[in-house]
Structure 1
Amino acid sequence: MSLESQRKWLHLALVPEMDFENFFRLLKTFGLPENIFSQTFSALSSVVPQSIALSIRSSLSESREQRLTEILKLLDTIPTARLVVPSDEDYPQKFLSIARPPLVTLSVGQLALLNRPTVGFVGSSHPSKEGQAIAKSWAQAILNNPVSLIQGDSEGIENIALKSAIQKDAQSLVIVTKNILSDPLCEKKLRFASENGLLLASLENEDNPWASRQKLMISCIEHFVVIEAGIRSKVLSLVREAADEGRDVMAVPGSIHSPLSKGCHKLIREGAKLVESVDDIVVEMRN
């Protein structure tokens, strides 16, 4: 993808108020971003709200322009870095299997890892010692199978599983991050992904990076495994949304006296598969 094409995809993704529906409507109506930016205000406002049409015709704010510049610099300096957009011939099929697929994603490493069966561990941000131990051991054990581990980097279960997989020097680890440019571990993650696996970061919806990250995880992960979650954990909303998109949800049972088991037990009652080992996960993934 040319530098100018990269800039236009990023510019469109960073337009204030831009969301999936309006972004997709523009692409469907006018084609590639190069064509969108050549449209008149009148033509644009016939497809999207006037505020968005005006933003497309205007320059980005200083802060958004700086972000665009930083992303372009990253794309230029890391050999395996690229933008993944729907016009790509190798746009992941997994992305297309959800209702609102990612439109602009930063990719560093081996995008082909998304062609394998995928699994990801999620759960409490404050897990028990037992939950931590499960996340550490299962993250390494699952990598002995022909799958890709898609791992978020939020605090708790996600980060514990991620670090454990990195310690194993995993070749099939995919890191999904919220905001790579503001991540203090940005350099370390980029280095790992460029040498071993894959790193993905959504570049859409700058005003709500958490929601963009969640959508990206659902796009990538076919099988979610919940290791400890409270009854009000935001993890429950993530996996329920994933289930609505046809993704598989598994949950680890625990003590009836532990608050961190309540969310998992609720998911199991709602239809999540009960798993007690990595072998159980592998069996479920084959079904």
Structure 2
Amino acid sequence: MKNFNIAPLSALAADNTLPARDARLGAPPAVPTGVPNSAPTGAPTGAPTDIPAGAVADDVAARVEPALDNDPVGADPAEINAWLRLCHAPGLPPAAVRRLLAAFGPPEAIFRASRAELAGVLPSDLVSRLLAPVSAVLMAQIARTLDWAGRPGCAVVTLAQTAYPRALLTLGDTPPILYCRGDIRLPNRAGAVAAALVGSRRATPQGRDNARHFARALGDAGVTVVSGLATGIDAAAHEGALETVGGTCAVVGTGADLVYPTRHQALAERIAERGLLMSAFPVGTPPRPDHFPRRNRLIAALARCTVVVEAATHSGSLITARLAGELGRDVLAVPGSIHAPQSRGCHALIRDGATLASSPADVLEALGIMPPVDAACVTPTALPPDTAAVLEALGYDPVSVDTLCGRTGMAITAVLAHLSVLELDGRIARLPGGRFARSTAQGVG
């Protein structure tokens, strides 16, 4: 699978470097057995090197007493307090947090370490920031998070817990804290049987139909559908998968206590009740443009493959597709009309090496799952000749009634009568602007 260069990476760029450690501090302390060294052979003395997040996660997990069968469904208040103090200490960059976790293990161990031990890992100014009294702002954030985590169905999941999604450990900067509502074990239970369905916020009715159809078919086959709760394709994908055995996971770009867009409040509640709603952003975080590319990264990492249902040429879904390719995941795209702007991104992905997905069976094949017998393959009930002629004239792109009159030679009253029959039968859908299109979710045509 090729990497996709359609969407720029600038929105995802992060500063993972640390300032040079004060040479007066001397050499770092010895690294405990099994902990990745913070400076590889050949690195300049005193030049800190960032620790891969996966290595940090593995080491933190190894330092925690194993309790796979009795692992709580979220961090307890003391753990939440310590993790928030570490991860949100003012002026402490994520790279410094990763170095501390790699050297000492969970935050409780970090805060038990002496200043001298900490100074062997971080520059002295960062040690001072870490050990500074907790600010009023951070104290308020901790209190707000503890209150939220105490509500039914809400949990804070950290790298130190077995419920943390293993699929995210492939990221170079694994988020150390996740805020979850619902079934926090869903990602690990799904494992490699998870697919991301993403696409345009300004989706066409046909695109939303396709997203629901794909999600329902995948979910019925046991695949967990991952998406971002956005308007359009994302929402349709969640709706299609909600009542299936595979379920759905929504990764959001706000705090897990907020819903964006607000009109998806009811959908978010249903996902939290029957699946999982997840965020890497602290409780109370509002929507911001730079949050959504970061959210897309988590979507791509959680899924074995990413399916783009509809996307314009500058869609954020193309960022998700490119990130999936870079993570070694399969990328598929659903083709559409050559005249539809919302399909141009999908066509570009296919041109650049993505797999064409004409049906859910293509996605199941990418996941290594044998497709179930598709009820859509059953021959539909025969139509009266004139009604069948209107359906044939409809083709596969949205068209107006006037166009159908021209193609069939029928009077407008007759065409409208046949369209009503087809619409009631679920074979076509009425679109804005007085146009009609086939309902491919019915598998007709």
> What is the TM-score with the length of structure 2 in the denominator?
0.57
Match of 1:95 among 151, 154, 168: 168
User: Equivalences for 1:1-150 in 2 at 5 Å?
Assistant: 1-39=75-113, 43-44=117-118, 46-48=120-122, 52-59=126-133, 61-78=135-152, 80-114=153-187, 115-116=189-190, 117-150=193-226
Match of 1:218 among 277, 300, 314: 300
Residue 175 in structure 1 maps to residue 257 in structure 2 = no
**In 2, Cα distance between equivalents of 1:239 and 1:68:** 35
Residue 252 in structure 1 maps to residue 326 in structure 2 = no
Task: Give the aligned residue type for 1:277.
Answer: S
SS at match of 1:143: helix
Report the equivalent of 2:274.
196
**In 2, Cα distance between equivalents of 1:18 and 1:188:** 37
**In 2, Cα distance between equivalents of 1:20 and 1:147:** 33
**In 1, Cα distance between equivalents of 2:164 and 2:139:** 26
**In 2, Cα distance between equivalents of 1:16 and 1:242:** 32
Report the equivalent of 2:345.
263
**In 2, Cα distance between equivalents of 1:15 and 1:156:** 37
Greater relative contact order (Cα < 8 A, sep 6+): 1
**In 2, Cα distance between equivalents of 1:142 and 1:261:** 22
Runs of 4+ displaced beyond 6 Å: 204-207
**In 2, Cα distance between equivalents of 1:212 and 1:68:** 23
Counterparts in 2 of 1:242 and 1:171: CA distance versus 1, 3 Å: closer
Q: 1:253 Cα shift? A: 1.2
**In 2, Cα distance between equivalents of 1:271 and 1:255:** 19
Counterparts in 2 of 1:219 and 1:65: CA distance versus 1, 3 Å: farther
The gaps in structure 1 that reach 5 residues or longer are none
Identity score, percent:
27
**In 1, Cα distance between equivalents of 2:213 and 2:240:** 8
Q: Quick check: which one's helix share is greater?
A: 1
Counterparts in 2 of 1:234 and 1:90: CA distance versus 1, 3 Å: closer
Task: Give the RMSD, CA atoms, in angstroms.
Answer: 2.9
Instruction: Tell me if structure 1 keeps the 8 A contact 2:338–2:344.
Output: yes
Counterparts in 2 of 1:50 and 1:177: CA distance versus 1, 3 Å: farther
Task: Give the aligned residue type for 2:303.
Answer: I
Q: 1:230 Cα shift? A: 1.4
State the number of aligned residues: 285
Counterparts in 2 of 1:270 and 1:87: CA distance versus 1, 3 Å: same
Instruction: Tell me if structure 2 keeps the 8 A contact 1:103–1:204.
Output: no
Counterparts in 2 of 1:87 and 1:153: CA distance versus 1, 3 Å: same
User: Equivalences for 1:228-247 in 2 at 5 Å?
Assistant: 228-247=310-329
Instruction: Tell me if structure 2 keeps the 8 A contact 1:178–1:209.
Output: yes
Q: 1:19 Cα shift? A: 4.8
Counterparts in 2 of 1:42 and 1:193: CA distance versus 1, 3 Å: farther
Instruction: Tell me if structure 2 keeps the 8 A contact 1:150–1:221.
Output: yes
Instruction: Tell me if structure 2 keeps the 8 A contact 1:171–1:197.
Output: no
The gaps in structure 2 that reach 5 residues or longer are 1-74, 370-445
Q: 1:187 Cα shift? A: 7.0
**In 1, Cα distance between equivalents of 2:110 and 2:250:** 32
**In 1, Cα distance between equivalents of 2:134 and 2:202:** 39
**In 1, Cα distance between equivalents of 2:329 and 2:281:** 23
Q: 1:66 Cα shift? A: 3.0
